C-alpha cells in the first residue's frame, strides 16, 4: 500500500507531454489489462475503449478537444465510449460469457438475467446513457492507478466535444458515445505543473465517520 500511495502522490494531470517518448507494447498491454479487469455494475462493462495512435485522426480530434496539445503530443489517446441504449442483447451476451467462462449452464443464470433486465432495460435511453457513462469513470480509475505504478502519465479529460468525437470516430453508427478521454504518455521536462505541490482537502474536511 505504501507503493500505491507513493504512486498517487507522483501522478498529476500532465499538461505537456514529451512527444518523443512512446509507451512500450508491454506496458500498453498492462494498461489494457488493468482496464479490462476494472469493476463495473453487474460486471457488465457497458462500454468500449478506443486507443487512438493514428496521428491524422488525432489532428482531427484536437480542435474539438479545446485545442489541447496533449491530444497530439501524448503517446496514446484513450477514448472511453459508453453504450447509449443498452438492451437485452447486451445482457444476453454477458450471460453467455459468464456461462462459457465458468462452465455453467445458461439456464442456471436465468434468475440473474431476468433481474438485470428488469432493472436496466425499462430505463429511458437518457437514464441508460447516464448510467453507462458512469461506468467509464470506474475503468478510467484503473487506468490511472495502473499507469502511476508504471510511472506513465495520464491526463483524464472532459474538455472535449462528444458529438464531434462521435462523428469523427463513427461512434454513432456503433451505438456508442464518447464519454471520457485520456491522454497517456510521459511528462515533458518543461511541464512546470509536475513540480506543483498536490492540493487536496484535509481528512477532517473530506471524511465524516458516523
Ordered DSSP codes for 30-65: HHHHHHHT---GGG---EEEEEE--HHHHHHHGGGG
Burial class of 197 by CB neighbour count within 10 A (0 to 12, 13 to 18, 19+): exposed
Produce one character per residue of 62-72: b if its CB has 16 or more CB atoms within 10 Å, e if not: bebbeebebbb
Residue 71 lies in a domain: yes
How many other C-beta atoms are found inside a 10 Å radius of the C-beta of residue 92?
14
Residue 47 lies in a domain: yes
128 and 73 in one domain? yes
- Residue 2: its pLDDT value, please? 73
128 and 115 in one domain? no
96: left (phi over 0), alpha (psi -120 to 50) or beta: alpha
159 and 115 in one domain? no
46 and 105 in one domain? no
155 and 105 in one domain? no
168 and 76 in one domain? yes
Strand 176-185 vs strand 76-83: parallel, antiparallel, or unpaired?
antiparallel
Question: How far is residue 18's CA from residue 190's CA, in Å, rounded to a whole number?
Answer: 9
Radius of gyration of the chain (CA): 19
- Residue 127: its pLDDT value, please? 98
Question: How far is residue 95's CA from residue 113's CA, in Å, rounded to a whole number?
Answer: 7
Question: How far is residue 148's CA from residue 157's CA, in Å, rounded to a whole number?
Answer: 17
Residue 33 lies in a domain: yes
- Output the domain CATH number for residue 162: 3.40.109.10
Question: How far is residue 161's CA from residue 29's CA, in Å, rounded to a whole number?
Answer: 28
Residue 75 lies in a domain: yes
pLDDT in tens, the chain (210 residues): 679 999 999 999 999 999 999 999 999 999 999 999 999 999 999 999 999 999 999 999 999 999 999 999 999 999 999 999 999 999 999 999 999 999 999 999 999 999 999 999 999 999 999 999 999 999 999 999 999 999 999 999 999 999 999 999 999 999 999 999 999 999 999 999 999 999 999 999 999 999
51 and 149 in one domain? yes
Residue 207 lies in a domain: no
Q: Which domain holds residue 109?
A: 87-120
181 and 106 in one domain? no
165 and 129 in one domain? yes
139 and 102 in one domain? no
- The number of domains in the chain is 2
Residue 135 lies in a domain: yes
Residue 17 lies in a domain: no
**What angle separates helix 2-10 from helix 125-149, to the nearest 10 degrees?**
100
Nearest to 185 by CA among 79, 81, 71, 80: 71
Question: How far is residue 111's CA from residue 117's CA, in Å, rounded to a whole number?
Answer: 10
3 and 103 in one domain? no
177 and 115 in one domain? no
State the pTM of this model.
0.96
Phi, psi of 187 (to 5 degrees): -60, 145
- Residue 1: its pLDDT value, please? 64
Residue 107 lies in a domain: yes
Amino acid at each position: 500500500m505504501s507503493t500505491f500511495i507513493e504512486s498517487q502522490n507522483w501522478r498529476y494531470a500532465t499538461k505537456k507531454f514529451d512527444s518523443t517518448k512512446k509507451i512500450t507494447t508491454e506496458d500498453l498491454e498492462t494498461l489494457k489489462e488493468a482496464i479490462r479487469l476494472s469493476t463495473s455494475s453487474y460486471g457488465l462493462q457497458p462500454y468500449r475503449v478506443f486507443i487512438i495512435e493514428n496521428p491524422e485522426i488525432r489532428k482531427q480530434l484536437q480542435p474539438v478537444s479545446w485545442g489541447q496539445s496533449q491530444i497530439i503530443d501524448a503517446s496514446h489517446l484513450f477514448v472511453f465510449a459508453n453504450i447509449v441504449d443498452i438492451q437485452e442483447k447486451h445482457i444476453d451476451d454477458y450471460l453467455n460469457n459468464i456461462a462459457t467462462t465458468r462452465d455453467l449452464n445458461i439456464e442456471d443464470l436465468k434468475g440473474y438475467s431476468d433481474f438485470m433486465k428488469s432493472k436496466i432495460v425499462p430505463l429511458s435511453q437518457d437514464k441508460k446513457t447516464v448510467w453507462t457513462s458512469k461506468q467509464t469513470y470506474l475503468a478510467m480509475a484503473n487506468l490511472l492507478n495502473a499507469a502511476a505504478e508504471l510511472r506513465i502519465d495520464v491526463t483524464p479529460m472532459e474538455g472535449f466535444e462528444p458529438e464531434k468525437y462521435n462523428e469523427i470516430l463513427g461512434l454513432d453508427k456503433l451505438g456508442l458515445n464518447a464519454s471520457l478521454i485520456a491522454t497517456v504518455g510521459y511528462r515533458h521536462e518543461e511541464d512546470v505543473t509536475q513540480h506543483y505541490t498536490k492540493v487536496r482537502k484535509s481528512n477532517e474536511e473530506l471524511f465524516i465517520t458516523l
